[in-house]
Structure 1
């Protein structure tokens, strides 16, 4: 196992321990910058490194786009602060926030591309974490029944700075104010954030060749999605894998022949399909009506204030909303609205360009093999969740997806077709990828 792989495996294995001391919020950023430094070092020392330690080539355009786009984010942040006369202390705090969020969205794919990191190591690590989740699951489930405290403590590490106490609070469960039932968020700051972790770990587990480990992660991921009551996680689990598989097979003529009757039948029943989609959307919004209302209001406020106050470079910082949105930050719960408000149109372009470029690049990679299909699925996951969460805030949890994207963008190996995970593939040595 290479040094980057050990860092990744140990960080994932330590998730619950870090959660208990409030350190998980810092572990992701520290890992991202360490891996980013190792990637730059690998490029600098490439001539003297062993062949297996050298980067496979210059960073591909998609990763260059991420590096450039996230740099533009920092520039937009500085200009926004200057436009609204924010002091140096606030500017420094926001720059540190950029380093813990947006910068990581570029550094992790770079590390996945440039460093000797295997998908199998990521997959085994999330499977081992899934086993920990299943072991601890009875405690989480019994906590509300036994009337244990919902929140155990707030880590003193909160004094080091962060986005709020919620990232340092050890929470066993919460009570949904709409239904009065328990809802679990595990090691995430809120329940839907655990949902994106469930989706990412499920996707990675598909590349674990040992069936027992694979199904451990499958079960844990589905339980996480269900117990968090995350609508987005359940939809993502149902939609993203088939969509990635379909896009990965667009280059095959038989795909179009198979889709032709589906398209024809869909045309015949288009009105009914549209009614079904509308009903599903209403059911989605109605399942958590107050949450949907708050999200919509936050979006409207963000767009209105962006248009009239800070069109190009945004306001520089987030701001608490009015009572109408329960004082939640303007632009939260939506990456694009948040960008418009904080970093303006420049920030939206800085994310949209690399996101679109990565989608095209991973779609092409998906047509070459299973690892490319995984990269596409992770890109679709990030795109999907950009409409329901602030991606930069959750990167400290969702970073395995970004590493997988970087791995997927590597040039194809000289060997022939990659075997599908768990299919006609010898199990890797447990000692080689042990956490």
Structure 2
């Protein structure tokens, strides 16, 4: 399994060399540069058509779902501009926020466009992810030993932080970090924080499950599971179960016996429902209590964002996140939740600009996963994105989520070509 076209070589090299790029503090820069380069190459191949050389020639016009993502992200930019205009933020801040859009939300459209148009095989992306998993397995012993050897949390911060970003952690290289609530070490690998690393671990497992070579499959799955467990993230554990099993259960939707079993299960709830509800409620409380401070801060942030959105800026939002009070440990209002963040920052317009194409993408993946194995990986990745959106601001994580976004574009092309 080796790259055969220029786009495949670019994608392969970027994924496989993730750890060296992380050591340079360059991942946050590489993601947007790669997105705009591949999307520009895709547009050029569409424009020149047969004039392009064979390994760069477009595989066809962008599928409707990819066009929807492109339109939606343009709408997101318009909502940002209107929000800045409404709150009189000035030209300087508007330009800065537009650059932020180009490094964040725009990638939600650029990578699917590249995956749908350029000659990229899903097998190449899958194998590259498994090779990255082997890198992770090699690095993990050093990371795990670091806090017990007295090594520092942060190794260094790259000068590349001068290009600007959400914070210095995006350009920093860590051995580990301490959880402030328990003062125990957590590991974030090549992500800026541990919960995000856990969901990247789920993505690694999903890619590895589709690998045909048993050795590479084992390396990818082991690396993904280690990332989830070492990050000590509740969201990662949920994703490991839900995002892997859910897509594999989808073919049951077309089985009559599965519907009969579901009907029998629903009928049995008349007897067992009350006890089951109590058990589930206790489980949810235990889940939230695992990191009670984090749960409290997130819930308060969401409530403040929702109330201020309703009272102050319904349609186009506040234009940007705003500093939070001491009650939420000065966390920015509009952070830690994509949906409440969209309402606060970009209003109803921005909320719908993300919701509509995401629901469409999930629907396509669900339909394909119910018909056969081809849709399992795209559906699992869609579930990861959905799960991330309820605990993080997904636009500042696209620079590491890009293999998943690229795969969604490849899947859209497969649906167009093979039905």
Q: How does 1:161-200 map to 2 (within 5 A)?
A: 161-200=164-203
Quickly say closer, same or farther: Cα 1:411–1:267, change in 2 above 3 A: farther
Q: CA deviation at 1:411?
A: 3.8
Alpha-carbon distance between aligned partners in 2 of 1:214 and 1:267, rounded to the nearest angstrom: 43
Alpha-carbon distance between aligned partners in 1 of 2:244 and 2:258, rounded to the nearest angstrom: 16
Per-residue CA distance 1:307-341 (angstroms, 9 max, x = gap): 11111101111111111111111121100011111
Q: How does 1:95-134 map to 2 (within 5 A)?
A: 95-134=98-137
Q: How does 1:74-85 map to 2 (within 5 A)?
A: 74-85=77-88
Is it true that 1:273 corresponds to 2:276 in the alignment?
A: yes
Decide which of 391, 413, 417 is 1:388's aligned counterpart: 391
TM-score (norm 2): 0.95
Q: Secondary structure at the match of 1:170?
A: strand
Aligned counterpart, 2:46: 43
Is it true that 1:207 corresponds to 2:210 in the alignment?
A: yes
TM-score (norm 1): 0.91
Contact 2:127 2:216 in 1 (8 A): yes
Q: Secondary structure at the match of 2:106?
A: helix
Contact 1:313 1:344 in 2 (8 A): yes
Decide which of 125, 145, 148 is 1:142's aligned counterpart: 145
Structure 2 gap ranges (5+): none
Alpha-carbon distance between aligned partners in 1 of 2:252 and 2:120, rounded to the nearest angstrom: 26
Is it true that 1:325 corresponds to 2:305 in the alignment?
A: no
Decide which of 277, 288, 292 is 2:291's aligned counterpart: 288
Quickly say closer, same or farther: Cα 1:265–1:404, change in 2 above 3 A: farther
Contact 1:372 1:409 in 2 (8 A): no
Alpha-carbon distance between aligned partners in 2 of 1:87 and 1:355, rounded to the nearest angstrom: 32
Aligned counterpart, 2:312: 309
Quickly say closer, same or farther: Cα 1:252–1:44, change in 2 above 3 A: farther
Per-residue CA distance 1:256-315 (angstroms, 9 max, x = gap): 244343333345422222222212211111000000001001101111111111111011
Decide which of 208, 223, 226 is 2:226's aligned counterpart: 223
Q: CA deviation at 1:136?
A: 1.1
Q: Secondary structure at the match of 1:208?
A: coil
Q: CA deviation at 1:59?
A: 2.3
Aligned counterpart, 1:2: 5
Decide which of 24, 31, 35 is 2:34's aligned counterpart: 31
Aligned counterpart, 1:377: 380
Quickly say closer, same or farther: Cα 1:261–1:359, change in 2 above 3 A: same
Q: CA deviation at 1:52?
A: 7.6
Per-residue CA distance 1:158-203 (angstroms, 9 max, x = gap): 1111111111111111111222211111111111111111011110
Aligned counterpart, 2:264: 261
Contact 2:198 2:228 in 1 (8 A): yes
Alpha-carbon distance between aligned partners in 2 of 1:51 and 1:65, rounded to the nearest angstrom: 28
Is it true that 1:344 corresponds to 2:347 in the alignment?
A: yes
Q: CA deviation at 1:390?
A: 0.7
Alpha-carbon distance between aligned partners in 1 of 2:253 and 2:45, rounded to the nearest angstrom: 35
Alpha-carbon distance between aligned partners in 1 of 2:110 and 2:204, rounded to the nearest angstrom: 20
Range 42-51 or range 206-215, more displaced: 42-51
Range 208-217 or range 13-22, more displaced: 13-22
Structure 1 gap ranges (5+): 417-435
Per-residue CA distance 1:228-261 (angstroms, 9 max, x = gap): 0111111111112221122344234344244343
Quickly say closer, same or farther: Cα 1:112–1:273, change in 2 above 3 A: farther
Quickly say closer, same or farther: Cα 1:334–1:253, change in 2 above 3 A: same
Decide which of 342, 360, 364 is 1:361's aligned counterpart: 364
Quickly say closer, same or farther: Cα 1:95–1:414, change in 2 above 3 A: closer
Quickly say closer, same or farther: Cα 1:312–1:374, change in 2 above 3 A: same
Q: Secondary structure at the match of 2:253?
A: coil
Q: CA RMSD in A?
A: 1.9
